[in-house]
Amino acid sequence: MKPCKPILLFQVWMVIFSIAGITQNKFLTETNITRTLNRPVVALSQIADTLMNKDEEFTFSKDQLENILNERKAVPFILGKTNENRNIEAWFFPGTSIKKALVIGGVHGSELSSIEVAEILISNLMRREKPYYNVIIIPGLFPDNAYTAKENQKEIGSTANLGRYGISSPADPNRQMPSPGKPFYEEYGKDHFEREIDPENKLLLKLIAIYHPDRIASIHAIRNISKAGIFADPRTDNNSIALGFETDSMLAIEMSRLIRNNNGHVPGNFLNGRPTALYYKDPVPVEKGKFQKRNFSGTILPQNRGSGVSLGTWASTAISSETDPAYNRKAMRILTIEFPGYKRPVDYKTASQQKHIRKLLKLYASSIENIFLEKYLVEGYQDERLPASEFSYCLPDNPDML
């Protein structure tokens, strides 16, 4: 018997989700979601004052990060400084398991709404019980670029896209990763096309190498709101051979369903038809064991500025090196979250527009808080136990583990 077609697989898993009552999880009750949406958002500066003494500064080094992780306390720390001497802030929240997640906002400084989603997530985590995953959150990876966008408020969301790129950046900030299957060498510091990687991305890659997250959520925003949603990159081995896309796509779809079921906006996932976790510009995921094509082209710009390897491609590709085994790692589960529109609530003119965007921001943050950081499709469980036979390939051997 032939294995299931990918779209049929989606439909079968969605039925199983309903039977297993996944959306009735204790973290996803209607009361809990309502409570999340009604929470006031606390300014991060106020939160930081409650966590860190003004005279005490956490800086990013391997030893410092390990100390933060071992203390298992919610704490902000500094990844490093930008060219314009701004802090790149990060926040650690301990979980109830040994699993680790990483959430990144503001990869493109012009996408200010992505930073707001990350800040709301931090605010929420400060006032609740520990999530399942330990998590580091970087609300704004490129604060200099975000500052440029904020200083040109009338252009936010326009095709001018001010703040997307650094002044001297050789490439799109999301197209500066090493070659798929290859490690990041800090002393080398070049991307797939031999371009110098921005300092902010070097810090991110250094963090990933030390922290070893099991899953990553990269929060972006998209001008064409009809394409907004939550998407997954197919994981592969170091030779780009597919490892199976089912659980990655299921996690993205379930997050998008939370948003849609609370009157949010995720049209890019096509939840009213055939649900998909495939970003519209990416190659179609292939069956496990086949070669997975990748998109290296990105946005067409002079000098190929928009081309290169994205974080999604690099992180979802395993690294295996006989000469440098210390750099080896499994393929990481990575989701790309595309919020509808670049603007913050303050950038909209009417009170009704501002209220609508605030709700959307909270819903997107809630999908990360209540699904991505909780015990859903935990790496090392479902993924490694999906047999190749048709029946088991289509159905989980233990739906309760969802």
The two structure tokens encoding residue 371: 């699904």
Question: Using 50, 70 and 90 to split pLDDT, how confident is the model at 250?
Answer: very high
The two structure tokens encoding residue 88: 């790149």
| CA 2 to chain CA centroid, nearest Å | 33
pLDDT of res. 36? 63
pLDDT of res. 359? 97
Q: Do the beta carbons of residue 144 and residue 83 sit within 8 Å?
A: yes
**Secondary structure class of 68 (helix, strand, coil):** helix
| CA 351 to chain CA centroid, nearest Å | 30
Q: Backbone phi, then psi, for 196, in 5-degree steps?
A: -65, 130
Q: In terms of pLDDT, which residue wins out, 45 or 95?
A: 95
Of 167-171, 245-249, 387-391, minimum mean pLDDT range? 387-391
Q: How far is Cα 267 from Cα 3, in angstroms, rounded to an integer?
A: 29
In a domain, 389, yes or no: yes
Candidates 172, 202, 217; CA nearest to 312 is 217
Q: Do the beta carbons of residue 218 and residue 337 sit within 8 Å?
A: yes
pLDDT of residue 266 exceeding 50: yes
Average pLDDT over residues 31-47: 61
* Max mean pLDDT range (159-173, 251-265, 319-333): 251-265
pLDDT of res. 7? 40
In a domain, 196, yes or no: yes
Q: Strands 215-222, 100-104: parallel, antiparallel or unpaired by DSSP?
A: parallel
Question: Using 50, 70 and 90 to split pLDDT, how confident is the model at 83?
Answer: confident
pLDDT of residue 16 exceeding 90: no
**Secondary structure class of 76 (helix, strand, coil):** strand
Per-residue CA distances from 68 to 128, 250, 253 (Å)? 20, 32, 33
pLDDT of res. 225? 97
Query: What share of the chain has pLDDT > 90, as a percent?
Result: 69
Q: In terms of pLDDT, which residue wins out, 19 or 50?
A: 50
In a domain, 73, yes or no: yes
pLDDT of res. 147? 95
Residue 136, strand partner residues = 92, 102
User: Residue 231 CB: number of other CB atoms within 10 A?
Assistant: 27
Segments forming the whole domain that contains residue 47? 6-401
- Class of residue 57 by CB neighbours under 10 A (exposed 0-12, middle 13-18, buried 19+): exposed
The DSSP letter of residue 299 is S
Query: What share of the chain has pLDDT > 70, as a percent?
Result: 78
pLDDT of residue 150 exceeding 80: yes
In a domain, 216, yes or no: yes
Into how many domains does the chain fold?
1
The two structure tokens encoding residue 26: 């204790």
pLDDT of residue 165 exceeding 90: no
Question: Using 50, 70 and 90 to split pLDDT, how confident is the model at 40?
Answer: low
pLDDT of residue 57 exceeding 70: no
Average pLDDT over residues 297-320: 86
pLDDT of res. 6? 43
Q: How far is Cα 189 from Cα 360, in angstroms, rounded to an integer?
A: 37
Question: Using 50, 70 and 90 to split pLDDT, how confident is the model at 10?
Answer: very low
pLDDT of residue 155 exceeding 80: yes
pLDDT of res. 187? 87
In a domain, 368, yes or no: yes
pLDDT of residue 344 exceeding 70: yes
> Length of the chain, please?
402
The DSSP letter of residue 369 is I
pLDDT of res. 42? 56
Per-residue CA distances from 208 to 57, 89, 187, 337 (Å)? 21, 15, 16, 19
Query: Which residues contact residue 377 at a Cβ distance below 8 angstroms, ignoring those fewer than 6 apart?
Result: 247, 250, 251, 383, 402
Q: How far is Cα 280 from Cα 282, in angstroms, rounded to an integer?
A: 6
pLDDT of res. 44? 62
pLDDT of res. 116? 98
Q: Do the beta carbons of residue 255 and residue 23 sit within 8 Å?
A: no
In a domain, 246, yes or no: yes
Q: Do the beta carbons of residue 274 and residue 10 sit within 8 Å?
A: yes
Kindly report the average pLDDT of the chain as a whole number. Answer: 84
Of 61-70, 311-320, 329-338, 360-369, minimum mean pLDDT range? 61-70
pLDDT in tens, 267-293: 999 999 999 999 999 999 999 999 999
pLDDT of res. 12? 46
The two structure tokens encoding residue 79: 């990844």
